[in-house]
Amino acid sequence: MNAFDIRMKTGLFPEPPASYRKCVQNALNMTGAQIKPKRRFSVAHIAIAAAAVAASLAVILLGVALRKGAPDVRPGSSVGTDLPPTPPANGTVPLASAEPEWNGSTLILAAKDPDGRYSDEDAGRFGRIILSFLQECGESEPDELWILCIRAVHVTLPANDSADDVSNVLVLAQSKFGASDGPDLYCIQDRSDGEVLWGTQDGAFGPHRVLGTFNGQQRWVLFGTNATADGSLGHIRSCYLTGGEDGTDIEFSGLLTTEESRRPFENSRHPDRLGEYYLIVVAESDPETVLNRSLLLVTEKSNYLFPIRDDVPELQVLTSDDGAEIRKTLDALVGGQGKAQYGETAVFDLTNVDADSSKAYTEAVLDWLRRGGKEPEELWLCAAVQFAFPEQYPTDEAYLLCLYEFDGETGPELFLYKDGEILWQTAGNDPYFVNTLYDPVKNINCAFGFSAAFDNGPLAMEKGQLTLRGADVGTFADDSTRFYPERPLEELSGLLSGSKHKDAAREAFIHPYSRDFEIVECVFTTKDGREFSAPDGVKVLTVKTEPVF
Amino acid sequence: MNKTRSDAWFVREIEAAQPSMFRVAFAILRNRTDVEDATQNAILKAYNRLGTLSDRRIFRTWLIRILKNECFDILRSRRPVVAIDDYDPGYEMSVPDLDLNRAFDTLSPEERLTVTLFYFEGYKTAEIAKLTDVSEGTVRSRLSRARASMKSILTEKEQ
């Protein structure tokens, strides 16, 4: 070993800092693997972090930490609520069929507060209702229940900022769920540069974690967020801003910076986090959209969809034996066209939805399937995409291929097509992928979805030929480094038809949108020149739709 | 293995892997909050997927792979450029060799990961290739490039 190597070995890394070790312990606690002292039955505490920002902005973060067995939070107890302590008998519970249980310890819910009427007592009331609901469902009680109430009206900017018209101001709230941490709030004027006009400062979660804005006419939005348990660290992973320029919902995920705020698709994630407690709250500018008034809670084994009704500002938990209400909601979510082809992979035709909302849709679909006793190994969802092309590319007669991967290991990949040629494509490990694509002004005329799973493995084909009735879209090639030329044709066919091999393509489907095309043939070519058609079992959805743009 | 024993085993393994996890995540992300996010995500994911691990003897490698993926996932979503002068890892810690760390910062995340796996985690190039989904030749070239780059920077500084 030479001197440099020795220097490398000794000089690069310190021991893990204490905060890192704590983070590991927290993660272990979250898994439930860590043995913790048994807690006594008692009402724990409702941790409330309330932040009143300026005169008329208030965001209340309430953490209700409820220790197991608290006598006065049980259904039927009288704890001063004017809402029923148990779900109404004739209501609807979006129940999972598969014995749901909390595997972690934190449950997060949010309630919109359109009139700014919520108080701490209200939040506590919600907590009791939710706990009753969970108990009614046979769920175990969460160790903690966090309720995030966002009052979404009236911003008064700091005096030194001259934004008189608050109607186009977007308030972004980033909440941490640590017991000692209040919400971070950011006020960003609705303009393209995403400038932060005002923001709270809170250490590591300072303004660089602001979620950003979107060039649109948003009103007020509630954010979906998840948080890690035990309060040590939490941040927004996914949220939906409603009311983009074209009225669509835009998903922001991950940790966005102001610089990134104009590239919302860059961070698109997929529903790979069923092990976490997810909350998606969508509000509010489009009252006609069911999704916009629903809470979707994803737990380890089940999802809950909580529709919120305008006429009842409080959080409502609808219950019914047959899940009709939720089914109706789901039908609305999928545009009434949810056609599942179920096997190892469920493929849904969601012609009338936006890809931006794919996460919420996918979760809803998963819930739907589960309630029917089906747990797909994978769920592929491809929806019409409203992407725009980079400036240098014309939008006419161009096509977009969306390659989604839902395994959580990698993000989506996109291919931009024109005349059979790839004009642009994402690169597997390119951290900057997709972002150059987004332009809220121009929309694509036609989109194709193509998916193939490869858990860090190969896209088991070199190129494919999509032959569409009336049009030959051309060929495409994937990164050759992902190609496994030694795989025999039979195996490739097997992979495509649904092999359980975890490290290879399992399923492929092609889903045309927007135009009256029909897939008549699907041929893949291996690197050594052999061709094969999509084998039996490959689920190819063929849809005919009217042009959507 | 029943759940209690399995959980205890998992906790032990994670605790033992803690220094490796820190090095790998910190090498890639160089930022406290991201490092901790990635670590937590990786632990949760590993726990939830433990049943899919066929051979627990490869747990450490499997865990590092998950962590690596989490790190790159975060990299994709974050601001790509951090000026070196402004760089603040967010940890209150003293690195053993500041100049070396600054040189290390100039490497690409892939190179930093490769260096870390090679020098600190004791993986061979073939194993690193498998772990990072690249060819062994790529691993060697990354190592070589990283060493050359760091040496060059350190030499310049010393002069």
Give B74-94 pLDDT, tens digit per residue. 776 654 333 333 345 556 566
> Does residue B65 sit in the same domain as residue B5?
yes
**Per the structure block, which two tokens stand in for A360?**
């919420």
Angle between helices B136-158 and B98-105 (to 10 degrees): 130
What six digits make up the tokens of A67? 């220790």
For residues A426-437, b (16+ Cβ closer than 10 Å) or e, as one string?
bebbebebbbbb
Using a CB-CB cut-off of 8 Å, the residues of chain A touching B6 are 33
| Exposed e or buried b per residue across A42-71, where buried means at least 16 C-beta atoms within 10 angstroms of its C-beta | eebebbbbebebeeebbbbbbbbbbbbebe
Please write the tens of the pLDDT for every residue from B116-134: 998 888 888 888 888 887 7
Provide the 3-class DSSP secondary structure of residue A127. Answer: helix
Asked if residue B4 has pLDDT above 60, the reply is yes
Residues B104 and B126 occupy one common structural domain: yes
Cα–Cα distance, A189 to A191 (Å, whole number)? 6
Asked whether residue B90 is domain-assigned, the answer is no
| Residue B55 shares a structural domain with residue B75 | yes
Distance CA A270, CA A253 (A): 9
Q: What domain range includes position B150?
A: 95-159
The whole-angstrom separation of Cα A14 and Cα A9 is 11
A11 lies within 8 A of chain B by CB: yes
Cα–Cα distance between B129 and B117 in angstroms, integer? 10
Mean pLDDT of A317-342: 37
Do both B35 and B60 map to the same domain? yes
Name the closest residue on chain B to residue A263, using Cα atoms. B77
Of B19, B52, B83, which closes a domain?
B83
Residues B6 and B62 in one domain: yes
- Per-chain mean pLDDT for chain B: 79
| A132 vs A73: which has the higher pLDDT | A132
* B111 part of contact set with chain A, CB < 8 Å: no
Kindly list the residues from chain A whose CB atom is less than 8 angstroms away from the CB atom of residue B120: 9, 12-13
Sheet with A169-175, edge to edge strand ranges: A169-175, A183-189, A196-199
End-to-end CA distance of chain A: 64
- What residues 489-528 of chain A have any CB closer than 8 A to a CB of chain B? 502
Nearest by CB to A17, which of B8, B75, B93? B93
Contact between residue A509 and residue A380 where contact means Cβ atoms under 8 Å apart: yes
pLDDT at A17: 82
> According to the model, what pLDDT value does residue A48 have?
21
% of chain A residues with pLDDT over 70: 5
Number of domains in chain B: 2
According to the model, what pLDDT value does residue A378 have?
42
Asked, for residue B16, whether it belongs to a domain, the answer is: yes
Helix (H, G, I), strand (E, B) or coil at B151: helix
CA of A380 vs chain B CAs: smallest distance (Å): 20
Average pLDDT, chain A: 35
> Are B133 and A255 an interchain contact pair (Cβ–Cβ within 8 Å)?
no
Domain ranges of chain A: 45-333, 384-533
3-state secondary structure of B53: coil
We report the CATH number of the domain holding residue B38 as 1.10.1740
Phi then psi for residue A201, to 5 deg, are -115, 125
Residue B88 falls inside a structural domain: no
Residues B72 and B113 in one domain: no
Last residue of a domain, one of B83, B114, B141: B83
Cβ atoms A326, A305 nearer than 8 A:
yes
> Residue B120's domain is classified under what CATH number?
1.10.10.10
CA–CA distance, B97 with A305 (Å, rounded to integer)? 52
Looking at CA atoms only, how far is residue A314 from chain B in angstroms? 33
Q: Residue A1: pLDDT band by 50, 70, 90 thresholds?
A: low
CA B21 vs. chain centroid, Å, equals 6
Distance (Å) from the C-alpha of residue B7 to the closest C-alpha of chain A?
5
Task: Identify which of A356, A208, A410 has the alpha carbon closest to the alpha carbon of residue B32.
Answer: A208
The two beta strands, A106-113 and A144-151, are: parallel
**Interface ipTM:** 0.88
Of B72, B80, B94, the CB nearest to A14: B94
Higher pLDDT: A379 or B140? It is B140
Using CA of residue A54, residue A57, residue A59, residue A60, what is the dihedral sign?
positive
Kindly state the average pLDDT of the residues A480-503: 27
Residue type, A362: T
| Same domain, residue pair B114 and B147 | yes
